[in-house]
Amino acid sequence: MLSFFQWCYDTPIGETIRESTWLFPLIEAAHLVGLGLTAGAVLIVDLRLLGAGLIRQPAAQLWASVRPWLLGSIGLMVVSGTLLFLSEAIKCYYSYAFWVKMTCLLLALVFAFTIRRHVVQTGPSPDRALQSRLTAITSLGLWFGVAWGGRWIGFS
Amino acid sequence: MTPLEFFAWLSETSWSVDLHESEIAYPLIESVHVWTLCVFFGLMMMVDLRLLGWTMRSVPVSEVLGRVLPWAIAGFVVMVITGTLLVLAIPLRSYQNLFFRGKMIMLVAAGLNAWFFHYRVYPRIVGKIVDGIPPNSVRIAGATSLALWIAIVFCGRMIAYNWFDCDRQPQPAIINFLTSCVPAPSVY
């Protein structure tokens, strides 16, 4: 595993970003914009599942409208995040925050496109209020872990 | 007292020194600033995208403004509090930071844009549009807001880097002018 991280670190892309003054900060800022957009799209649906925000629209309708933005912003985050990772792969390998983040990210994505999607699409029903809330809390918790881990990679 | 003297005085206060030297408080405040960025900036962009007619077209603009904006504003309040504390931890460097200044100017511009939208643009169209793509005046306000907030986040991220810091001389004269920097050791 470490040798893979070393290989990433040694790639010309990683080296270029490391040696440039501006590239890392600019990619970081783009990563932050992606983070905001992802969070916005996630929050619109999760607030609805919690019974707040846009409660007059069915969750399935909100999910359908924000999904392209969610996918687009996740794409932006994966591309910018990979570039950042290549430039400091060795640091990431030894950073527990990095592993927390990646674990939460994997769980958050799997959760969003399996259980959460199912809950969103089965539609509103009073007897499923608790299920909706638990789904939203799980989703928010996992994304919180992603953002927390991401910020603490920088502190470690 | 000039602003420079004020920020120099601020950096001498025990509040500022304690925050600056704290190994827990400073990273924690910075983290809270980023988490609430998700709430504020994320939801603000969704509102702006709705004003542009690029998402949630079946949801009336009034609904989005009435039910999403309050959450964004709550996030904004926490951002202002944590942001103020971050400046308090590093007062003089923040004041003389090129990107911090850019960010503050754009914050004022975003505020003016929001004021103009809510008191000049929105009242004229309220009741007329229910859903779909809003008229151009609304879309321009949304696009302006979106562009400003993205630029503010970019500037915010750049504050952490010291390329144009006062203690890194020589800098071009224009940079020293824009950062009110007097390149003499006595300032630091």
Report pLDDT digits (tens) over A105-128: 999 999 999 999 988 888 666 667
Task: Inform me whether the C-beta atom of residue B49 falls under 8 Å from chain A C-beta atoms.
Answer: yes
**CB contact, 8 Å: B2 with chain A?**
no
- Closest chain A CA to residue B46: A40
Return the residue in B26, B56, B164, B165 with the most chain A beta carbons within 10 A, the one to mutate for interface testing.
B56
What pLDDT, in 10s, does the model give residues A53-81? 999 999 999 999 999 999 999 999 999 99
Cα Rg, chain A, nearest whole Å: 18
What is the percentage of chain B residues whose pLDDT exceeds 70? 95
Q: What pLDDT shows up at residue A126?
A: 65
For chains A and B, CB pairs below 8 A equal: 102
Chain B residue at shortest CA distance from A73: B42
CB of B58 less than 8 A from some CB of A = yes
Out of A48-52, A113-117, A148-152, least confident range: A148-152
Placement of tokens 């990772």 in the chain: A85
Residues in chain A whose Cβ is within 8 Å of chain B: 21, 25-26, 28-29, 32-33, 35-44, 47, 52-57, 61-62, 65-66, 68-69, 143-144, 147-148, 151-152, 155
Residues in chain A closer than 8 A to B45 (CB atoms): 36-37, 40
Q: What is the pLDDT of residue A40?
A: 96
pLDDT at res. A143: 92
Which residue type, as a one-letter code, is found at position B185?
Answer: P
Residue pLDDT tens, chain B, 188 long: 888 889 989 999 998 999 988 888 998 999 999 989 999 999 999 999 999 999 999 899 999 999 999 999 999 999 999 999 999 999 988 998 999 999 999 999 999 999 999 999 988 887 776 678 889 999 999 999 999 999 999 999 999 887 878 877 888 888 888 888 876 654 44
Cβ distance of A35 and B38 shorter than 8 Å? yes
Query: What pLDDT, on the 0 to 100 scale, is given for residue B188?
Result: 47
Using an 8 Å Cβ cutoff, are B59 and B131 in contact?
yes
Sign of CA dihedral B164, B167, B173, B177: positive
Residue-wise pLDDT for B22-61, tens only, equals 888 998 999 999 989 999 999 999 999 999 999 999 899 9
**Contact indicator for B142, B48 with CB cutoff of 8 Å:** yes
B25/A contact by beta carbon, under 8 A: no
Contact A39 B38 (CB under 8 A): yes
pTM: 0.92
Q: How far apart are CA A107 and CA A45, in angstroms?
A: 18
CA distances (Å), origin B183, targets A101, B75, B167, B187: 42, 38, 7, 8
Distance from CA of A139 to the nearest CA of B (A): 14
Rounded Cα–Cα distance for residues B110 and B117 (Å)? 10
Report the run of H or E that residue B95 belongs to, with start and end: helix B91-95
Position B108 scores a pLDDT of 97
Instruction: Choose among B110, B173, B177: nearest CA to B147.
Output: B110
